[in-house]
Amino acid sequence: MLVAVLVTGGAGCSGGAPKSATGPTGAAQRSEEAAQQREEAAELQKNREELARREANTREEAAEAKALGTEAAARAKARKRERTAEADAKKRERAAEENAKKREAAARAKAKQAQEAKQKQQETAATQRQEQLSKSNKQRKTSGGGETTSTIRISQ
């Protein structure tokens, strides 16, 4: 609470008393006025201190509110960064899994091709052996009359 004090210069409450009055009543009156001025000055000082304390409390509360707001904003930013980082990590993980699957599929396809090529080569080799056996058998049959006779001679 703020109290305004208006100090008048010289005249007391009596209004009609002369300034130059000396005597017991004049000295008592001045003493009373001085005491009243000291009281008013003390009350004024007390009011100033109370006002300063309230202003300090107000500034402190405003600073706390600002700090809380700043802290909340920082937490929100941190959560957003964390969510973004998690999303990026998941994307990278999915991409790595997809690449691994692609490499694995390519390796299987290559292995299948190699197996098919080996099987084809084996079939070709088997066919060639079959053809050679067939030629060899034909040659035996054509030249086989001599052998047959020689076999017959041995048997006789």
| Whether the Cβ atoms of residue 17 and residue 29 lie closer than 8 Å to each other | yes
pLDDT of residue 122: 92
Distance CA(155)–CA(71), nearest Å, equals 115
pLDDT of residue 144: 56
Mean pLDDT of all residues in 40-49: 97
Mean pLDDT of all residues in 3-16: 47
Mean pLDDT of all residues in 122-138: 88
Cβ partners under 8 Å of residue 3, min gap 6: 43, 44, 47
Give residue for tokens 């009350």: 43
Percent of the chain beyond pLDDT 70? 76
Mean pLDDT of all residues in 23-31: 82
Global confidence as pTM = 0.41
**Mean pLDDT lowest among 96-100, 123-127, 151-155:** 151-155
Residue range 49-65, pLDDT digits in tens: 999 999 999 999 999 99
Mean pLDDT of all residues in 95-117: 95
